[in-house]
Amino acid sequence: MTDMPGTSSKERLDITSGDLQVVARTAQLLQLLTTQDTIDLGTAAAELGVGKSTAHRYLASMENHGLLHRRDRNRYECGTLLAELGTIALSRLGVIEVARPVMENISVQVRQTVVLSIWNGQAPVVMHVHEDSSRTAHVSIKVGSVLRQGTAQYLVFHAFRDHTFHRSRGEPSAPALSEADLAAVRETRVGVRHWPNDGIRAIAVPVFDAGGLVVATLGVVGIAQFVPEEIDSPVARALLRGADTIKNILRSSIEGDEEDQA
């Protein structure tokens, strides 16, 4: 390899090292979003071991490039580019494309917002939403939102943690449930969680791929008084039928590809 005209080896090394440091620091900050909903300026500075002015430059640059979105004056969350990249990754599995009409159908049936989530290694992330607007009061969820521990989606992913398409980074902390409770979720394929303080209830079920691994969760999130808590409710049954439909379509697609190659 020859040197570029007018550029010494030391200069090239300095530029490369600087670029690598930027990438490494950006990755450090993004990693924080796998365990918490937002990044604030103080947390970013402490994580990188730099002053707040330097941390602010990183956060502002990441916001400008769509990696982060400013929630308020000092807090940042997943940006549109991250959501798009996650959507692309999941789309390559065919799940989002298949799920869209299924989610719309469920939403019309039960008059609720339907959410498709994947596991990012430590928490569920919302990848597609079909929002219900038939009621005056309804729940809105943004694509790219990281769902906290204790959500129905987290519960389902944790219950099926040994039968999932996604890898885990580290050992995620378990919800306050016994193994018997988790076994019940595996048996019924339904997780239900309620937040009395927020007045919200969610129901989630696993979406399996053709190989029998959990690739996503399908869930309903809504005002508690409109979302039944029973695991055999019409809402839960609609979600289970939808998850089975997605799995069957994915399986048919694979079987069709195999026949074409035969």
38 and 71 Cβ atoms separated by less than 8 Å: yes
**pLDDT for the residue numbered 15:** 43
Neighbours of 196 (CB within 10 A): 8
Is 9-78 CATH 1.10.10.10?
yes
Q: How many CB atoms lie within 10 A of CB 170?
A: 9
pTM > 0.85: yes or no? no
pLDDT at 92 over 80: no
Most confident of 13-27, 81-95, 165-179: 13-27
Q: Is 151 in a helix, a strand, or coil?
A: coil
Here the contacts of 103-106 (C-beta below 8 Å, separation 24 or greater) are: 103/128, 103/130, 103/218, 103/242, 104/130, 105/242, 106/130, 106/218, 106/220, 106/238, 106/239, 106/242
CA dihedral 244, 82, 194, 204 (to 10 degrees): 10
Check: CB of residue 218 under 8 Å from CB of residue 85: no
Q: Model confidence at 106, in pLDDT bands (50, 70, 90)?
A: very high
Residue whose entry in the numeric block shows the structure tokens 């400008």: 64
Over residues 60-76, the pLDDT tens digits come to 999 998 888 888 888 89
The answer to whether domain 9-78 and domain 93-261 are alike in fold is no
Closest CA to 216 of 77, 93, 83, 108: 93
More confident: 21 or 83: 21
- Asked if pLDDT for residue 59 goes beyond 60, the answer is yes
Q: How many CB atoms lie within 10 A of CB 102?
A: 23
> What pLDDT does residue 18 have?
63
Q: Give me the mean pLDDT over the 177-195 stretch.
A: 90
CA dihedral 213, 144, 167, 115 (to 10 degrees): -20
Give CA–CA dist 68/174, Å, rounded. Answer: 27
What's the CATH class of domain 93-261? alpha beta
Alpha carbons 194 and 247: distance in angstroms, whole number: 27
> Is the per-residue pLDDT at 107 higher than 60?
yes
**Domain extents in the chain:** 9-78, 93-261
Each residue of 76-85: pLDDT tens digit? 988 877 766 7
Structure confidence at residue 256 (pLDDT): 55
Alpha carbon distance 33, 236 (integer Å) = 30
- The amino acid at 77: E
